[in-house]
Amino acid sequence: MAGKRNGLRALIKRAAPNAEWTHCVIHREALASKHLSPELNEVLTAVVDVVNFIKTRPLKARLFTAVCEEMGADHTAVLFHSEARWLSRGKVLSRIFELRSEIRMFLEEERMAKTNTTSHLADKINTFTRKLNVWEKRMSQGRTDVFENLTELAESIDSGAATVLPCIQQHIEALGGFFGKYFPNSATQYDWVVDPFHASAPADFSCAEEEQLIEMTSDSALRLRFPTIPLSQFWLEVEKQYPLIGQKAVGILLPFAIISL
């Protein structure tokens, strides 16, 4: 297209022989800046990977924005890297540096979400329901210190104590009832999976399953190996030798981990 003989350049030269032709400055800048040292290129590649991980997934971008807002960051998004504009690299790197704390927390939370298991979720549900009980008790005593915004709202409205607080208290009571309905199982139901060498066998175990749990927990080699490897890996190894309880434990641990990925 820009050939010297038949392209645009030749046509312009014929019409204006004194016209000067120069290569696109932005393109030349981009070409000149491509030659990074291996160390710097590794850093830039890692940064681009992080940016793409956040920006190319709408859900991830929204979650990252929420993290930035919660932490009071000056920015709520990272910048895309453009190969055509080498100056954009500086802006991208600057933004990454400014949001380094928020990015670290976001990536750590992402990693933790992928390693969650059913037993971890059960612990979180149990924690939340216990907190609901505490909040309900304190609200019934007229104590709203756990909800700072609610206290301020109640004090700023003439009928706040008579209308707002009872409404919130009723909501907490109802929420506790719903959690009790949808999560009726005991908080200790997965103890045998999380800590098999100290927990008792569940009441719904068959005789064969309970006997196999006894055999497994009496295995000194497995007892020594248990604290040295991830929980899911431990039960995958147990499954080969003790299939009844191994399959049962793997069925509890792995489904949520697979969905999270």
Best mean pLDDT range from 8-22, 79-93, 122-136, 143-157: 122-136
The residue among 132 and 148 whose pLDDT is bigger is: 132
Instruction: Give dist(CA 80, CA 83) in Å, integer.
Output: 10
User: pLDDT tens digit string along 179-236?
Assistant: 877 776 666 778 888 889 998 888 889 999 999 999 999 999 999 999 888 888 898 8
- Residue 172 is predicted with a pLDDT of 83
Q: Name which residue leads in pLDDT, 35 or 49.
A: 49
d(CA 217, CA 22): 78
pLDDT value at residue 18: 66
pTM value is 0.43
Main-chain dihedrals φ then ψ at residue 30, nearest 5 degrees: -65, -40
Question: What backbone torsions phi and psi does residue 189 show, to the nearest 5 degrees?
Answer: -65, -25
pLDDT higher than 70, residue 118: no
What pLDDT was estimated at residue 210?
92
Residue pLDDT, tens place only, 56-106: 778 788 888 888 888 788 888 887 655 444 446 677 778 888 888 888 888
Least confident of 7-11, 89-93, 102-106, 139-143: 7-11
What is the C-alpha to C-alpha distance for residues 76 and 254, in angstroms, rounded to an integer? Answer: 34
Q: What is the mean pLDDT of residues 145-152?
A: 73
Q: Which residues contact 92 (CB under 8 A, 6 or more apart)?
A: 47, 48, 51, 78, 79, 80, 81
Mean pLDDT of the chain: 75
Residues contacting 208, CB < 8 A, separation 6+: 244
pLDDT band per the 50, 70, 90 thresholds, residue 253 = confident
pLDDT at res. 261: 38
> Does 163 score more than 90 pLDDT?
no
Residue 35 has a pLDDT of 53
pLDDT band for 37, please (50, 70, 90 cuts): low
Average pLDDT over residues 144-161: 69
Residue 183: the pLDDT is: 72
H helices of 8-74, in order, are 8-15, 25-33, 38-55, 58-70
Q: How far is CA 100 from CA 67, 97, 105, 244, in A?
A: 12, 5, 9, 47
